[in-house]
Amino acid sequence: MARKKKAKKSTKKQLKKPEILTGVYNIILKSIIIVVVSTVIALSYTGIRIAVGADKKIESIPVSGTPEVASDTIIAVSEALPSPTPTPTKIYHIPLKYRYLFKDQKKKEDIPKIHLEEAKVLQESGKAIFIDARGPSEYNDAHIPGAISIPVGDAQNKIQQYKELFKDKVLVPYCHGAGCHLSDKVAYALYDAGYKKVVIYFGGWPEWTQANMPVEKYEPPEQFKHLFEEAASEKDIKQITLEEAKFLYDNGLANIIDVDTQENYNKIHIERAVTINVDKMKDMLRGYDYFLKQKPNVLYCHGRGGKSKQAAGILYKEGYKKVLLFINALPQWEKAGYPIWRSPQQPPPAQK
């Protein structure tokens, strides 16, 4: 009997354990379901609030606010609002007292002469073209931004060349300021060519630079840029072609130096070339120091290039690294019909 009772008790205990586990499982399952349902409800509610809030922000965007407010609203605004109307191009309004500068001049004598104040108005208007009447080398060194070069000696050809550019523009020649009449001559040439909107910038380059106004420097074409580089060594001094020499000559971008004897130079030389005899070069360098440092130096002689190479070596050793050799210069130059100075006693070459 005792054994039977013990067996019943153990059976009851075994039955209670599965019932307890089942109850615990049901509780956990219900809890998980409650958590999931609550999360879904919370997320749905939050989504509704965000949607409503975005609508409110679009309806009333504040005129001003902190960067944080702007960054919060920018996405909603960009998606909800139509594309903005394009901003109209800014129109420069010419002050009344300067409007006379933009009118046709009835006579050459009436062409106004202006100073910096008026020059700034003309440049800012976008309706004027500044014209540098100085020499090509000075223009290339630096000029008023946007200015074009029209030297007095080449005015007629250049004016014709810029016919389309000058249309409906106020033309503003300038030169070395008070006392310089190059700008006057270019202005009169423009007027005679039919351009009546002409103003002379009398203050010119000195006034412009003294006021620390912006300037622009000449940028050579890509194929000629190597002409302005320093030679890495004496052996690397370049020999230039006739085309390269003419480019440098026409634009005043190099010193053309005849290194032959004074006697030969006096007979014939490239027009505008200076003479520095190779045999006296070392003694003369101090007086030519500033001149030699300003631009590349193109050296030529009257023979096969021996004196030119000798002079190039002297200059290089003395620290002048922008040196170029123009071998067989005079025959090429003269054959091409380029400017030559010849002594009246020196007969021209025989025609073949």
Whose CA is closest to 241, among 144, 325, 148?
325
CATH class label, 226-342:
alpha beta
**Predicted confidence band of residue 77 (pLDDT cuts 50, 70, 90):** very low
Q: 96-210 adopts what CATH topology?
A: Oxidized Rhodanese; domain 1 (3.40.250)
Tokens at 276, concatenated: 């520095």
67-80 helix and 2-59 helix, angle to the nearest 10 degrees:
80
pLDDT tens for each residue of 164-193: 999 999 999 999 998 899 999 999 999 999
Asked if 138 and 151 count as a contact pair (C-beta separation under 8 A), the reply is no
pLDDT tens for each residue of 313-334: 999 999 999 999 999 999 999 9
Asked if 201 and 172 count as a contact pair (C-beta separation under 8 A), the reply is yes
Q: How far apart are CA 236 and CA 330, in angstroms?
A: 23
> For residue 144, what is the DSSP state?
S
Q: How far apart are CA 72 and CA 77, in angstroms?
A: 10
Alpha helices by DSSP H, 254-320: 262-267, 281-294, 306-317
Residue 204's Cβ-count burial label (10 Å; 0-12, 13-18, 19+) is buried
| Sheet with 148-149: strands ordered across | 113-114, 200-201, 170-174, 128-132, 148-149
Place of tokens 């920018």: 74
Q: Does 226-342 match 96-210 at the fold level?
A: yes
Mean pLDDT throughout 83-94?
Answer: 56
Q: How far apart are CA 163 and CA 182, in angstroms?
A: 20
pLDDT at 82: 46
For residue 300, the Cα-to-chain-centroid distance in whole angstroms is 34
Cα separations in angstroms, 223 against 212, 237, 243, 244: 32, 17, 11, 9
Mean pLDDT throughout 249-266?
Answer: 94
What backbone phi and psi angles, to 5 degrees, belong to 268? Answer: -160, 140
Specify which residues 138 forms β-bridges with. none
* Domain residue spans of the chain: 16-80, 96-210, 226-342
pLDDT beyond 60 at 11: no
The answer for 228, left when phi > 0, alpha when psi is -120 to 50, beta otherwise, is alpha
Residue type at 342?
A: R
pLDDT at 83: 47
Mean pLDDT throughout 36-55?
Answer: 59
Mean pLDDT throughout 243-252?
Answer: 93
Mean pLDDT throughout 249-267?
Answer: 94
pLDDT beyond 80 at 36: no
